[in-house]
Amino acid sequence: MSKAVLQKLKAKFGDAILETHSDLEIERRLVTAQSWKSICQYLRDESTLDFDMFVDLCGVDYPARLPRMEVVLHLYSTTRRHRVRLKTRVGDEDMEEANLDSVTSVWVGADWFEREVYDLSGVTFRGHPDLRRILMYPEFQGHPLLKDYPAQKTQPLVEYRTEAEAGVPLEKQAPFRADEGMSFGRFDWLHRNDEENPTDEPLGVVHSMKPSPEAGYRNGADAGANHTPPEPHQPKQGPKQDPSQEKVS
pLDDT digits (tens, 9 = 90+) for 9-28: 999 999 999 998 877 667 78
**Does the bond joining 67 to the residue before it have cis omega, within 30 degrees of 0?**
yes
DSSP strand pairing (53-61 vs 69-76): antiparallel
**1-145 belongs to which CATH class?**
alpha beta
Q: How far apart are CA 188 and CA 210, in angstroms?
A: 24
Top-confidence residue, 5 or 104: 104
Above pLDDT 90, what percent of the chain? 53
**How far, in whole angstroms, is CA 68 from its chain's centroid?**
15
pLDDT digits (tens, 9 = 90+) for 190-241: 566 555 544 444 433 333 333 333 333 333 333 344 444 445 555 555 555 6
Give whole-number Cα distances, 120 to 123, 143, 145, 147, in Å.
9, 5, 5, 11
What is the C-alpha to C-alpha distance for residues 55 and 148, in angstroms, rounded to an integer?
Answer: 28
DSSP state of 156: -
Mutual orientation of helices 36-45 and 2-13 as an angle, nearest 10°? Answer: 130
pTM: 0.71
Rounded mean pLDDT, 177-184? 64
CA distance 208 to 205: 9
Q: Where are the domains of the chain?
A: 1-145, 150-208
pLDDT at site 67: 96
